[in-house]
Structure 1
Amino acid sequence: MEPQLRVGIMYEKEISFQLNGTYVLKQNGKEYTGKQEAKYIDGKISFDGIIEEELIFNPKEYDASNFDLFGVTIGIKFHWERKEDQRFKGSLHFICEDEKLTAINVLSLEDYLVSVISSEMSATSSLELLKAHAVISRSWLMAQVIKGEELQKSNTQYQSIVETEDSFIRWYDREDHVNFDVCADDHCQRYQGMTKQSTPLVVDAINATRGLVLTSEGRICDARFSKCCGGVAETFENVWEPENHKYLQAVIDNPQAPEGYDMDLTKEEAADKFIRTSPDAFCNTTDKEILSQVLNDYDQETMDFYRWKVEYTQEEISELIERKTGKEFGQILDLIPGERGESGRLITLKIVGSKRTLTIGKELEIRKVLSESHLYSSEFVVDKLDVVNEVPSKFVLIGAGWGHGVGLCQIGAAVMGAKGYKHDEILLHYFRGAELEKRY
């Protein structure tokens, strides 16, 4: 049976919305249409003269109705963060969380997928790429719902921070959400409701793969993806919790290993050479037609993701690290690579300051600390320039890839689609040993 999904959309003290069609409010049985407003007041929701702990608006006609939410923040804490008005199909729920209202969209999984594929990918993508992405998104979603249910049943506290006096290791995952299945931002999967114009091709891709998921040993795969692996996909446990998934292993994003490279990128010398050069890989492309299949307009504001460079002055990096960690380091003397994953991504990084030394990880924590939003990836090497009395005046980070690099590489998959690979071949290139199985 097709699951229903709860998607967290926005979090504000006051939320303006418009009901397009007739909606029935469960709390009082009244019908509503047109522009409305709900407010957070002292742990409850104020709406139309009533005060409730939650509001549930259900459409009288599911397919003929939709609703608008005004001022939804997209790209939270990314360089392209902005607000936009968005339109959604299904029911609208309001709950109270962290002294704000949370707006939740409840809809069928397949309807959600039509939007997510259109939001994550360009609707002009090739049919095989869209089919592959439909299977991944469906698998990931169903795996997250199961994981959430298992966590609740086990009643165990999910542990994602390991802290000592000289180290801070944290990973980020969807366990942050307890009142809905997934959020609408890049933290989970980018979802913009009906706002992002879909095409018949996206609908065809969803319909052609309806109920189809990746499985491994009978369980639905926690199928991950990122924009650009940088040449090698990373293993799951090097990014998130220390749990090995057979189908989320290191994958060279090429039919064969690039010549002239030691591909044991856990070794610093091998990683250094790999990152500073531009070896062949599916995702090593500058073909704008292929890239436009994967990158939306705001993603195309920058195109240097296979290999990239970021520079900081001493003043910039010392202020940034202190602000992001909340700890005083003094002058930054060194950034020393610690453990590297199999893609060359840093799992740990030692920050050496004149006042303290701290090892941080995992990859997203490193990316957050060394950038106003997020570094493209944690796959980088560090050059120190103009060192005077052991104090560099400039740090240059030379890096590879965009995102965590686990699972499917979207740009690599787009290139594979353009080269004539079928969706199952694309999927089994990135998810080694997995199987395709129809669940409904």
Structure 2
Amino acid sequence: MKEPSVTVGIMSGETIEFVLNGTYLQGGLPVEGAQTARIEQGRIGWNGGLYDQLLFTPQEADHSFCLKGVTIGVKFHWERREDQTFRGALKLIVEGDRLTAINELGIEEYLLSVISSEMSATASLELLKSHAVISRSWLLAQIQKNKALAGQKPVSCFRTDHELIRWYDREDHDRFDVCADDHCQRYQGITRESTPIVGQAIEATRGEILTYDGQICDARFSKCCGGVMERFSSCWENRDFPYLVALRDDRNEHDFPDLTVEENARRWICESPEAFCNTTDKRVLSQVLNNYDQETTDFYRWSVAYTQQELAALIREKSGIDFGQIVDLKPVERGTSGRLIRLQIQGTRQTLTIGKELEIRRTLSPSHLYSSAFIVEREEVVDGIPQRFVLRGAGWGHGVGLCQIGAAVMGEQGYDYRHILLHYFAGATIEKLY
């Protein structure tokens, strides 16, 4: 087969400002330079006309366009706005009362940016090759899944009087394949300057994907598993894959306690067990973490403290529910990495169990907690009401699939990309699709 293309949702707004660096065609007419499009009467107002959609196609492969004020790290602690430049075509569509900018381009060109956006372009060749294969696999699996769903949006929220279980996956997008932010894969066009070694990693693995039993693997990844990998159903819909299983991020993959048991999870999180991702080597970390990610210094083991007033106000703001004073945050169910899948919030006015892992992280932080693998310490208890809560946690992200920091360490220790991939995706096969 030939190389597929991908559509990436970059940004939305009532007005979108962009610059065409070179000659682009729109409706057969050449356009270049600074442009502004805005929502007008439910359509796209541009250049004195109203349109249902606009498509700007570059005349030369090296032509690019710049989108002004793209928000990155949406709702995460590193959220900020920046101008970003992209190759390929630019499509503008209407979604509700906003415009959405979509980049259309080939998968290999897309991957060149993803690898440089997700991690430092100075990473080792074997780490970059690993990431090229999983990013390609994940993307093609999502495109395949989207076609199978045929525009139908799956249920991702269950609510009763006592429980709210919600997860967040890429099915939020039905007008393009994937978004450009951490919700899917970080994609920042050619803004993140690529290097020859990134190009080498893409070219060396061109068309290579992970498969299991003839199917493209839904190859997930996160920053730091915290020592043990999580299963798929802890984070997204209630299904599991045989290649995404609980394994220790270490040479001895099967040497770890059952972290679904509360006592074991508490002990594991409070210690600092040996693992590939248990490193403070700044040179290795800089391979994975871009400048704004390096603003996070503690991630293998971390802690966050709140006063009673801070926590009650935060939960009220994030959940929209007034729990009164917070009496306890009680673990209900943990996954294979010790991550909480369900957590009961006990308040003086209300009690509710929430999940899955990202909903817990979102509810208990102004941005997002690093992970849901944490224990809760209640301090300064007065008449049964703690005046202070300390969350002690492990890892950064959902912990499913490849652990980026662990993979960086493996690359430094001499493992090749195939060994790295098969460590994180048990029983998978590496195949060349195109």
TM-score range, shorter chain: over 0.9
User: Cα deviation per residue 1:269-312 (whole Å; 9 max; x = unaligned)?
Assistant: 00000000100000000000000000000000121000000000
Which letter maps to 1:64? D
2:64 to 60, 63, 66: 66
Q: Find out whether 1:45 has 2:44 as its counterpart.
A: yes
> Aligned partners of 2:254 and 2:103: how far apart in 1?
45
Q: Secondary structure, in 3 states, of the residue corresponding to 2:284?
A: helix
User: Cα deviation per residue 1:355-404 (whole Å; 9 max; x = unaligned)?
Assistant: 01000000000000000010000000000001011100000000000000
> Aligned partners of 1:110 and 1:372: how far apart in 2?
36
More deviation, 392-401/40-49? 40-49
Q: Which residue of 2 aligns with 1:249?
A: 245
What is the correspondence of 1:223-262 to structure 2 with a 5 Å cutoff? Answer: 223-256=219-252
How many residue pairs match? The answer is 433
Displacement, 1:256? 1.7
Q: Which residue of 2 aligns with 1:200?
A: 196
Which letter maps to 2:177? D
Q: Find out whether 1:109 has 2:107 as its counterpart.
A: yes
Q: Secondary structure, in 3 states, of the residue corresponding to 1:237?
A: helix
Which letter maps to 2:88? G
Contact 2:247-2:254 within 8 A present in 1 as well: no
Q: Which residue of 1 aligns with 2:205?
A: 209
Which letter maps to 1:270? N
Contact 2:19-2:35 within 8 A present in 1 as well: yes
Q: Find out whether 1:77 has 2:75 as its counterpart.
A: yes
What is the correspondence of 1:150-299 to structure 2 with a 5 Å cutoff? Answer: 150-152=148-150, 156-256=152-252, 263-299=257-293
Which letter maps to 1:33? E
Which letter maps to 2:7? R
What is the correspondence of 1:3-152 to structure 2 with a 5 Å cutoff? Answer: 3-26=4-27, 29-61=28-60, 63-152=61-150
> Aligned partners of 1:59 and 1:258: how far apart in 2?
51
> Aligned partners of 2:24 and 2:366: how far apart in 1?
41
Contact 1:258-1:280 within 8 A present in 2 as well: no
Identity percentage of aligned residues: 61
Displacement, 1:64? 2.5
> Aligned partners of 1:172 and 1:248: how far apart in 2?
18
Contact 1:305-1:402 within 8 A present in 2 as well: yes
Which letter maps to 2:71? T
Displacement, 1:257? 5.9
> Aligned partners of 1:258 and 1:175: how far apart in 2?
33
Q: Find out whether 1:317 has 2:318 as its counterpart.
A: no
Which letter maps to 2:432? K
User: Cα deviation per residue 1:60-102 (whole Å; 9 max; x = unaligned)?
Assistant: 12x2211111111111111111111110000000001131110
Displacement, 1:238? 1.1
Which letter maps to 2:41? D
Which letter maps to 2:43? K
Contact 2:325-2:349 within 8 A present in 1 as well: yes
Which letter maps to 1:4? S
Contact 2:377-2:391 within 8 A present in 1 as well: yes
Q: Which residue of 2 aligns with 1:373?
A: 367
Which letter maps to 2:182? D
Which letter maps to 1:21? G
Displacement, 1:157? 4.0
TM-score by length of 1: 0.97
Contact 2:52-2:93 within 8 A present in 1 as well: yes
> Aligned partners of 1:321 and 1:121: how far apart in 2?
32
Contact 2:157-2:165 within 8 A present in 1 as well: yes
Consecutive unaligned residues of structure 1, counting only runs of 5 or more, are none
Contact 1:258-1:279 within 8 A present in 2 as well: no
Q: Secondary structure, in 3 states, of the residue corresponding to 2:69?
A: strand
> Aligned partners of 2:40 and 2:239: how far apart in 1?
42
| Runs of 4+, deviation exceeding 6 Å | none
Consecutive unaligned residues of structure 2, counting only runs of 5 or more, are none
Q: Find out whether 1:397 has 2:395 as its counterpart.
A: no
Which letter maps to 1:409? C
TM-score by length of 2: 0.99
User: Cα deviation per residue 1:7-48 (whole Å; 9 max; x = unaligned)?
Assistant: 00011111111111110103xx21101111111112100001
> Aligned partners of 1:98 and 1:391: how far apart in 2?
45
> Aligned partners of 1:68 and 1:342: how far apart in 2?
43
> Aligned partners of 1:5 and 1:354: how far apart in 2?
50
Which letter maps to 2:113? S
1:327 to 292, 306, 321: 321
What is the correspondence of 1:414-425 to structure 2 with a 5 Å cutoff? Answer: 414-425=408-419
1:384 to 358, 378, 390: 378
> Aligned partners of 2:52 and 2:352: how far apart in 1?
43
> Aligned partners of 2:149 and 2:79: how far apart in 1?
31
How large is the RMSD of aligned CA atoms in angstroms? 1.0
